[in-house]
Structure 1
Amino acid sequence: MNATTKHTPLQTVLLFIAALTFGFGALVQIADRRAQTAVPVVYKSLQTPADIVLLSNPVKAVAYTSVVSLAKLPVADKKQRFIALLLPAILISKQHLKQQRNRLDQLLSKSRLTTDEQAWLDQLQAVYGTTGSPAELRKRMIGLPNSLILAQAAIETGWGSSRFFVQANNVFGVWSFDPTEKRIMASQRRDGKAVYVKRYGSLLGAIEDYFLTLGRGSAYTELRLAAQHSQDSLVLIKHLHRYSELGNDYVERLNGMIRHNRLKRYDSYQL
């Protein structure tokens, strides 16, 4: 929830139930965790926009633990640095998901699991909030094109200028219902009550939480199904009409963001 995007009442209820059941912070056991990856991750704090590592392909695996506002930069420079900030976290998170899917595929091919393997599977099912088969769990662990995620991040943060982004590494305006987790209060109130958004330890934590939200939420069942057949961002955004109270207008904004900024050119970028 931020100035540009607010969750629907149904989404709010679902998030609240999830928070009560697991504790929203506990849902992100893969988020913000310095897990082993094929490419070593460098954690970096920013002091000025000049500290942002310039974008290249392959992308350097940098996870920023703090950011600065990009609001005062010239528009073209602001957009380029914002993408350089976010794309590494997106690719690292997608790599984490790929590793988990690969391990899950290995388990699915076995007739019998060890105690440790079953414990890992049970934990992952709890994180994704599903009691279905491992095959159902596999469908929830979706990958998405870089252009789609960048477009949403740009809209939600105003290209890296929102207070939630700067003060909390919160890329998507994710609410917090757990008073024990790190969070900040929003300036707006909802139904007369204070609203909080989650504070992440790094941009990587925010991206991994984003993937988990899309993997858990019943509002994104169509998106998960579509992602199994296409990685075209202009196709997939049609299934994000429930992500925002703006509905189809939000989809149109994503469409314009991707096309106008030629974000699909980043879909081929890798670590």
Structure 2
Amino acid sequence: MAVVTQSKRFHLAVLGLLGACVLVLAGAQILRPANTVSKAPKSIIALPKEKDPKKASLEQALKGDQKRAGGKLTVSALNKTFSKIGYELDPVLDGKSAVPRLFLSSLPYDLGRMKEADERKSLFFRTLLPLVLRVNEEIKENRAKVWRLRHRLSVGLDIRAEDRIWLDAAFDKYKVKSARFDRLLEKMDVVPPSLALAQAAEESGWGTSRFTREGNALFGQWTHNPKDKGIVPQNREEGKTHRIKAFDSLSGSLKAYVLNLNTHKAYRGFRALRKQMHEKGEVLRGYELVTTLDKYSERGEEYVTSLQAIIKNNDLMRFDKATLDDDDIKHLNNPLI
């Protein structure tokens, strides 16, 4: 009986000592928590962002100017907006400033009334550059997704149903047979800003053509599809049925232009030279890529020479290294991109 009692006392003493140790350790953890990451899943809740009063005032000011101009975007309103956010071309060209995420749906309706050619060019480039960079940014994101999915499939892993649907749609969009990933990546690629801006300037008369004013048609793309929005050229020959394809926004026009260069058989040389530049680790150079676009216009080599002159005279090559800033999109016109 005495042995049993003594054993109980021993066990109680051990349990008491263990309990004290646990309390000491728990207290230490509370006072000085270990610098480790919990293995428990985290729930991340995004707090609502407060609206930037500066951006809100810009939006209100621009809408006010548009209202006074019958709902149209004016040169005066856009110049004021660019000035307020400090958006100038020289810092961008010098690599000292990123391009603001300012995506306009149309050019100012009175752009053609500007007397100073340099000012008109500056406004034209500043309006289109963010859009060109955004289209290229989306393409880069899609290319990265294709690489990820390709890798999973190559090592025998399955991909989600929605990813398979997205991949099938990408092959269809770029007119590539399924599973030909190299071919898809060759076509799903960016267009250097210098080239896109030069062609937009040439084809749209620096944003003043009837097709641009009425249908955001920057690149003069033809359509024979009766379902497409289009504008009939004034001097269209009798018996011809083509129209100039119209778009709801400048972004739509840019996306169609890039897809055209990336898929049409007439521009295989463009895609081949672009691929060579990538393989050499070079920055895509619009000035050289232009030489492959002699079939874009009936003017042929004369057209190529004209584009190269625009790129050289306006120093557009420096835009090829421009990037969008990390700030939120500045909503200045609806619909945007």
Is 1:232 aligned to 2:285, yes or no? Answer: yes
Q: Highest relative contact order (Cα 8 Å, sep 6+), 1 or 2?
A: 1
1:61 aligned counterpart, secondary structure = coil
> Which runs of 5 or more residues in structure 1 are unaligned?
1-41
Q: CA 1:109 to 1:190, structure 2 compared with 1: closer, same or farther past 3 Å? A: farther
Report the TM-score when normalising by structure 1.
0.79
Indicate the residue corresponding to 2:75 in structure 1: 49
Which residue identity does 1:86 align to in structure 2?
Answer: L
> Which runs of 5 or more residues in structure 2 are unaligned?
1-58, 67-71, 89-96, 278-283, 325-337
Indicate the residue corresponding to 1:146 in structure 2: 193
Q: CA RMSD in A?
A: 1.9
Larger Rg: 2
1:244-255 equivalence runs, <5 A: 244-255=297-308
Contact 1:183 1:199 in 2 (8 A): yes
Find the partner of 1:209 among 256, 266, 276: 256
Find the partner of 2:184 among 114, 134, 137: 137
Query: Can you list the C-alpha shifts for 1:61-84, whole angstroms capped at 9, x where unaligned?
Result: 222223324222110111000001
Indicate the residue corresponding to 2:102 in structure 1: 62
Structure 1 outlier segments of 4+, above 6 Å: none
1:229 aligned counterpart, secondary structure = helix
Which residue identity does 1:63 align to in structure 2?
Answer: F
1:107 aligned counterpart, secondary structure = helix
Distance 2:201 2:303 in 1: 13
Alignment size in residue pairs: 229
Which residue identity does 1:95 align to in structure 2?
Answer: E
- 1:155 CA displacement: 0.5
Is 1:120 aligned to 2:120, yes or no? Answer: no
- Relative to its length, the structure with more helix (as a share) is 2
Moved more, 64-73 or 152-161: 64-73
Indicate the residue corresponding to 2:144 in structure 1: 102
Distance 2:286 2:98 in 1: 21
Report the TM-score when normalising by structure 2.
0.64
